[in-house]
Amino acid sequence: MEAIRQAILEEASGEELARLPLPDTMRAAVVRKSEIDVFDGLPSEEKDPRRSLHVDEVPIPPLGPNEVLIAPMASALNYNTVWTSIFEPVSTFGFLEKLGREGELGARHDLDHHIVGSDAAGVVLRTGPGVTQWKPGDRVTVHCNSVDLEGPEGHEDSMLDRSQRIWGFETNFGALADISLVRANQLMPMPTHLSWEEAASLGLVMATSYRMLVGENAARMKQGDVVLIWGATGGIGGFATQFVLNGGGIPVCVVSSEEKAKVLRGIGVEHVIDRKAEGYRFHDEHGRPDYAEMRRFGKKIRELVGRDPDIVFEHPGRTTFAASVFVARRGGTIVTCASTSGFLHEYDNRYLWMHLKRILGSHFANYHEAWEANRLVDLGRIHPILSKTYPLEQAAQGAYEMHHNLHAGKIGVLVGAPEEGLGVRDQEKRGRFAEQIAVFRAFE
Ligand code: NAP
């Protein structure tokens, strides 16, 4: 593996890379099937990814049709790796077993270890039969929508395909490995002004936010819309904030510290609510929704922007959902992609139907949406929100921090890259956006 890594760092040609033999085994961050009950009986917050996410030596996956082997130079952590490593709400080995029942190619994924990771920037090493658009040596970022499009359902929107899966979560052979297996239709050109770890930190969360707010398939924000964004310096929230600013909307950003509020002001956000300082508690001690608190929250938003939100960007779930429905304007939209604090939500439906609001479910993004979001980065309209980077061996520490909300923005992981800052191709372009790229580094 060392020879391949070195060749990439020295910018060897695609032909040279294709000639280098692949090793039989590689390093990979995995959870082990033998450990799925290791946290049984513990509350969620005590389940520690540092006990369950290991870096093991595992075999290289065999390449199939329309697939590509890439060498991730960097990856980034997503909340899905937290879920996988604490085996909640279900063990991801169930996904792999199901995939394993779907024929010979699916069977490759059903192993006693699960290689995690749904974001990568790296270099194509090998292409399988049928791949025509990519070749060894191409520098790529990867989006995580894995589909085969064999059935009719996904041909208008691949997220509706019956085979749709999140790579590195519902499939094996994710990005936290020396070599990773992806479908050719997951690849996108790496933005030329970014380092490996910056480019790797975009994919999953950025495309998710793009679909929720910008694309045709969810809330379709327009200029002037007031958008309430929970967790506005988190992974999806940090990109949501940028898409709203970039698209002429008015973000009202909710965060939990002054430090985070300061970073948001630094990127041009006028309206920030510090939920900790305000002490909002939208449920009483019995877990019942507290509408006086929600009214107080809604009043705060009106004081800031003079109207109720057209769109609420929702993902914390149980603790905020009732408030999100309550504060959205008459006819407004609550767009949700997650339930971090609990997926059973209670809200008063009268506030929804009497005020003609709508709730939209959204999940990752199709290839076109991911591509368009990636293009905005290449154009310098949207920037990475990377705050810190760990080597592969410490990926579990990053997952721990994410689980306990100790981070901001994205946590990168160096895989093939020996240090941060490598991989930039266009220094002049980088210079133009250096200030914006550096904003989230304030958290380091
Ligand atoms: P993240 O980086 O941890 O950010 C989440 C943010 O939410 C935190 O920074 C925190 O900000 C805020 N938050 C956490 N708990 C909260 C609570 N109880 N009330 C209010 N705010 C809270 O995670 P992420 O990558 O943005 O992902 C967020 C969620 O979306 C996860 O559940 C993830 O699995 C999901 N997700 C889903 C998809 C999809 O395709 N369906 C894609 C990406 C992510 P403050 O503490 O500053 O308020």
Kindly report the protein residue whose alpha carbon is nearest to atom 1 of ligand 1.
Answer: 234
Supply the pLDDT for residue 238. Answer: 97
Q: What is the mean pLDDT of the chain?
A: 97
82 CB less than 6 Å from ligand 1? Answer: no
The minimum-distance atom of ligand 1 relative to the CA of 205 is 43
444 pLDDT more than 90: no
433: confidence class by pLDDT, cuts 50, 70, 90: very high
User: Tokens at residue 435, please?
Assistant: 């200030």
The beta strand positions in 7-112, using DSSP E, are 25-32, 54-59, 67-76
For 164-202, what is each residue's pLDDT tens digit? 999 999 999 999 999 999 999 999 999 999 999 999 999
- Dihedral sign from CA coordinates of 301, 202, 411, 86: positive
Supply the pLDDT for residue 125. Answer: 98
Interatomic CA distance for residues 282 and 299, integer angstroms: 14
Choose one of 280, 294, 340, 345 to mutate for the ligand 1 pocket test, by most ligand atoms within 8 angstroms of C-beta. Answer: 340
Supply the pLDDT for residue 379. Answer: 96
Supply the pLDDT for residue 14. Answer: 96
Supply the pLDDT for residue 168. Answer: 98
For 118-163, what is each residue's pLDDT tens digit? 999 999 999 999 999 999 999 999 999 999 999 999 999 999 999 9
227: confidence class by pLDDT, cuts 50, 70, 90: very high
The Å distance, Cα 390 to ligand 1 centre, comes to 20
The minimum-distance atom of ligand 1 relative to the CA of 83 is 34
Supply the pLDDT for residue 74. Answer: 98
Choose one of 217, 236, 364 to mutate for the ligand 1 pocket test, by most ligand atoms within 8 angstroms of C-beta. Answer: 236
Is residue 83 within 8 A of residue 89, CB to CB? The reply is: yes
> What is the maximum alpha-carbon separation in the chain?
67
The Å distance, Cα 235 to ligand 1 centre, comes to 7
Q: Find the mean pLDDT for residues 30-43.
A: 97
Q: 248: left (phi > 0), else alpha (psi -120 to 50), else beta? A: left
Q: Report DSSP letters for 83-119, one per residue.
A: HHHHT-SS-THHHHHHHHTSHHHHHTT--SEEE--S-
146 CB less than 6 Å from ligand 1? Answer: no
Is residue 426 within 8 A of residue 194, CB to CB? The reply is: no
Domain map of the chain by residue range?
Answer: 2-206+365-440, 219-361
Where are the alpha helices (H) located in 79-227, listed in sequence order?
79-86, 93-100, 103-107, 196-200, 203-213
Backbone angles phi, psi at 417, to 5 degrees: -75, 130
For 272-307, what is each residue's pLDDT tens digit? 999 999 999 999 988 889 999 999 999 999 999 999
The Å distance, Cα 98 to ligand 1 centre, comes to 28
Kindly report the protein residue whose alpha carbon is nearest to atom 11 of ligand 1.
Answer: 231
The alpha-carbon radius of gyration of the chain (Å, integer) is: 21
Residue 343 gets which letter from DSSP?
S
Backbone angles phi, psi at 327, to 5 degrees: -85, -15
Helix (H, G, I), strand (E, B) or coil at 68: strand
User: Tokens at residue 47, please?
Assistant: 């389940």
For 73-129, what is each residue's pLDDT tens digit? 999 999 999 999 999 999 999 999 999 999 999 999 999 999 999 999 999 999 999
46 pLDDT more than 90: yes
The Å distance, Cα 123 to ligand 1 centre, comes to 30
Interatomic CA distance for residues 158 and 365, integer angstroms: 8
For 359-413, what is each residue's pLDDT tens digit? 999 999 999 999 999 999 999 999 999 999 999 999 999 999 999 999 999 999 9
Kindly report the protein residue whose alpha carbon is nearest to atom 12 of ligand 1.
Answer: 231
What distance, in Å, lies between the first and last C-alpha atoms of the chain? Answer: 30
217 CB less than 6 Å from ligand 1? Answer: no
441: confidence class by pLDDT, cuts 50, 70, 90: confident
Kindly report the protein residue whose alpha carbon is nearest to atom 15 of ligand 1.
Answer: 316
User: Tokens at residue 412, please?
Assistant: 């990168």
Supply the pLDDT for residue 226. Answer: 98
* Percentage with pLDDT > 70 across the chain: 100
CATH number of 219-361: 3.40.50.720
Supply the pLDDT for residue 190. Answer: 98
Q: CB count, 10 Å around CB of 331?
A: 11
The Å distance, Cα 32 to ligand 1 centre, comes to 26
Q: Name the β-bridge partners of 289.
A: 283
Choose one of 45, 79, 80, 211 to mutate for the ligand 1 pocket test, by most ligand atoms within 8 angstroms of C-beta. Answer: 79
Interatomic CA distance for residues 116 and 38, integer angstroms: 18
Is residue 252 within 8 A of residue 304, CB to CB? The reply is: yes
Choose one of 86, 405, 406, 443 to mutate for the ligand 1 pocket test, by most ligand atoms within 8 angstroms of C-beta. Answer: 405
Supply the pLDDT for residue 431. Answer: 97
Return the axis-axis angle of helices 367-378 and 203-213, rounded to nearest 10°: 110
The Å distance, Cα 254 to ligand 1 centre, comes to 12
Q: Write out the CATH class of domain 2-206+365-440.
A: alpha beta
Q: CB count, 10 Å around CB of 115?
A: 25
The Å distance, Cα 296 to ligand 1 centre, comes to 23
* Percentage with pLDDT > 90 across the chain: 98
- Beta carbons within 8 Å of 366's beta carbon, 6+ residues apart: 145, 157, 158, 159, 211, 217
For 236-276, what is each residue's pLDDT tens digit? 999 999 999 999 999 999 999 999 999 999 999 999 999 99
Q: CB count, 10 Å around CB of 11?
A: 11
The beta strand positions in 143-212, using DSSP E, are 145-146, 165-166, 180-183, 187-189
Supply the pLDDT for residue 443. Answer: 80
